[in-house]
Amino acid sequence: MQKATIQLETLTCPSCLQKIENAVGNLKGVDKDSLKVMFNASRVKVNFDDTVSIEDIEKAIQDLGYGVKRSRVKAA
């Protein structure tokens, strides 16, 4: 299990939250319960296992049109 913290470009609409939650939460290998999308901090926190990579998660967010500034992965 790994723990990712992803800093996004500033989020401005609350509906962004729901989109990102759905997009990241539905990826295989992502621990849905650990998923936290922080609107005001514009940050995503999530745990995931080997079946998915941090690049996949970043791509899912970028495909929605939200820029990823940087991310940090740690063993959880």
Partner 1 sequence: MGFQQKILSSKNKITLISGILIVIGFIAHFGFGNTQVFNIAFIIASILGVVPIAIQAFGALKVKVISIDVLVTIAVIGAFLIQNYEESAIVTFLFLFGSWLEARTLNSTRSAIKELTEMAPEVAFKQMENGEFEEVDVWDVDEGDILQVRTGGKVPVDGTVVIGEGHINEASITGEADPVRKETDSEVFAGTILENGTLQIRADRVGEDTTFGKIIELVEEAQDSKSEAERFIDQFSQWYTPAVLVLAFIVWIFSQNVELAITILVLGCPGALVIGVPVSNVAGIGNGAKNGVLLKGSEVIQDFSKVDTILFDKTGTLTVGNPEVAEFKTYGDADQALSYLASVENESDHPLAKAVLSQLGDIEMYPVDETNVVKGGGIVAEVDGHRVAIGNVALMEKENIQLTKEAREDFEAYEKRGNSLVITAVDGELKALMGIRDQIRPGIKQDLQAMKALGVKNLIVLSGDNQGTVDLVAEELGLTEAHGNLLPEDKADYLKELQAQGQIVAFVGDGVNDSPSLALADIGIAMGSGTDVAIETSDVVLMNSNMSRLPHALGLTKATANNMKQNIVIAVGTVLVLLAAVFFSDWMNMSIGMLVHEGSILVVILNGMRLLRYRLKGTDVETANAKEVYA
Least Cα distance to 37 among 54, 23, 20 occurs for 20
CB of 2 to partner 1, least distance (A): 14
What is the residue whose two structure tokens read 């962004």? 16
CB of 29 to partner 1, least distance (A): 17
CB of 46 to partner 1, least distance (A): 14
Report the residue number, 32 or 72, with the smaller CB distance to partner 1.
72
Q: Which two tokens stand for residue 56?
A: 């996949």
Distances in Å between the Cα of 42 and the Cα atoms of 1, 15, 48, 51, 75 are 23, 13, 19, 26, 22
Contact residues toward partner 1 (CB under 8 A) are: 5, 10, 12-15, 18-19, 22-23, 26, 38-41, 43, 62-65, 67, 70, 72
